[in-house]
Structure 1
Amino acid sequence: MLINADFSRPAIVAADQYHWVASPQSGVERVMLDRVGAEQARATSIVRYAPDSWFPRHPHSGGEEILVLSGTFSEDDAHYPAGWYLRNPPGSNHQPSSKEGATIFVKLQQMQPQERHAVRIDTRAESSWHNENGRHICSLFSDDVEQTSLQRLELDEALFTAPVSGAELLVLSGNVLADGESYQRGSWMRLPAGQYPGIVAGSHGTTVYLKIARLGKTPIEA
């Protein structure tokens, strides 16, 4: 299965374009934002757990990255309400579930093989944030391939101040303006290398998940 699989081209899924697809497990459905592969895929998704839903224990050979958007997401005996960021390295395994229901942003099989450490960050805690050149940033992960963070932008503030090697963003609050269009909370964008001065925060500012990374060396034809 190929969805938004040509990484040399921009890909956008607005919040009002979500198409929910059932997963193999009852009570769990997802919006496929990009995907290369079948059920065991390199994938980026919004995943929704109904109350009392779960997945059997399973491994992630290429790692898994999770941002809890709403509700409470659980792994084994640990419980993570909205705002928690989880990063499970390649070779890890877990049994995910949700008692009350949850919506999460998930990236699968996109980590470097040498990653070894799990990451757990409560992005609701002000201590997780710092000021960097006048912008509030919550750093989530950084290595020689990617820099991942949450960022708060003020009214009309440009998201990018320099060219990027590739970028991906999810609007977490407020809205983002790009090419004359307004993208509300839940909208997702993936951008190839380039300059994007026209992407700015909307009328009430915004908070975004932002990953700066090289996206892919060879385009994949969908």
Structure 2
Amino acid sequence: MLNMNFNERIVINTKKQPWVASPKAGVWRKPLAREDAERGHATSIVKFDAGASFTEHDHPLGEEILVLSGTFSDHSGDYHEGCYFRNPEGFLHAPFSKEGCILLVKLHQFQLGDNEHVVIDTNNQSWSAGMGNLMVMPLHSFAGESTALVKWPKGECFQAHKHFGGEEIFVLSGEFIDEHGRYPEGTWLRSPHMSEHFPYVEQETIILVKIGHL
């Protein structure tokens, strides 16, 4: 197991991690949290080399993906940088990438009853006003769990707060900061239930945030 104690705070700068070969030729991973070698709960950065592909398969308890670069494809279409999608249990596909791509992938983490197939091109979605000067782009919500993009304007400070149900962050651009450290683009953070911090930024920063699931 890797980073499966949800009571621990985890910080990983994925830019500094080496790629690890997966069992499938042309597909590489940077494991962030993993229940077992090839099954169960997993969060990873995944890279498809150009031309890499998988045979058709299902994902027990679902698959959640954000395309970080390149184009990821399956029978339902092509998903370029900025596309967010959720494939529930029972959704069969044979993914591939003609030109290569890098993904943030979460496997086996859907709640029971969360069966919606979601596809959102975040490049074409509008931002909504959040707390303070933050801008928010909701992506998914189910039974107390929610996922969104959050845009922080330059110099923004947010009030100290606790995370009921925990918080998971991936820094997509800029640099996220709190009293514990500085987190540049590509950093993955997981904070446990009722953890607390005082976040701020010095430059415009966009993060993917998931709350209420830990």
Tell me what 1:220 maps to.
none
Tell me what 1:130 maps to.
128
**Equivalent-residue separation in structure 2 for 1:164 and 1:183 (angstroms):** 18
Q: What letter corresponds to residue 97 of structure 1 in structure 2?
A: F
Q: Aligned pair in 2 of structure 1 residues 155, 70: CA closer, same or farther (>3 Å)?
A: same
Query: Within the alignment, does 1:48 sit opposite 2:47 as a pair?
Result: yes
Q: Aligned pair in 2 of structure 1 residues 132, 51: CA closer, same or farther (>3 Å)?
A: same
Alignment of 1:181-196 (within 5 A): 181-196=181-196
Q: What letter corresponds to residue 75 of structure 2 in structure 1?
A: D
Query: What CA deviation, in whole Å up to 9, does each residue of 1:51-80 have, x standing for no partner?
Result: 111111111111000000000011225001
Contact 1:153-1:159 at 8 Å conserved across structures: no
User: For structure 1, which runs of at least 5 residues remain unmatched after alignment?
Assistant: 216-222
Alignment of 1:14-163 (within 5 A): 14-127=13-126, 129-133=127-131, 134-158=133-157, 162-163=161-162
Query: What CA deviation, in whole Å up to 9, does each residue of 1:161-195 have, x standing for no partner?
Result: 53212000000000112335322111100000234
Between the aligned residues of both structures, percent identity stands at 37
Q: Aligned pair in 2 of structure 1 residues 38, 164: CA closer, same or farther (>3 Å)?
A: same
Contact 1:159-1:197 at 8 Å conserved across structures: no
Q: Aligned pair in 2 of structure 1 residues 59, 83: CA closer, same or farther (>3 Å)?
A: same
Q: Aligned pair in 2 of structure 1 residues 68, 16: CA closer, same or farther (>3 Å)?
A: closer
Coordinate RMSD, CA, aligned: 1.6
1:15 shift after superposition? 3.2
1:26 shift after superposition? 0.6
1:126 shift after superposition? 4.0
Q: What letter corresponds to residue 187 of structure 1 in structure 2?
A: T
**Equivalent-residue separation in structure 1 for 2:192 and 2:155 (angstroms):** 23
Q: Normalising by structure 2, report the TM-score.
A: 0.93
Query: What CA deviation, in whole Å up to 9, does each residue of 1:97-149 have, x standing for no partner?
Result: 1001100000000001212220000101143x212233211101011131100
Q: What letter corresponds to residue 189 of structure 1 in structure 2?
A: L
- Paired residues, what number? 212
User: For structure 2, which runs of at least 5 residues remain unmatched after alignment?
Assistant: none
> Which of the two has greater strand per residue?
1
Q: Which moved more, 1:131-140 or 1:165-174?
A: 131-140
1:17 shift after superposition? 2.9
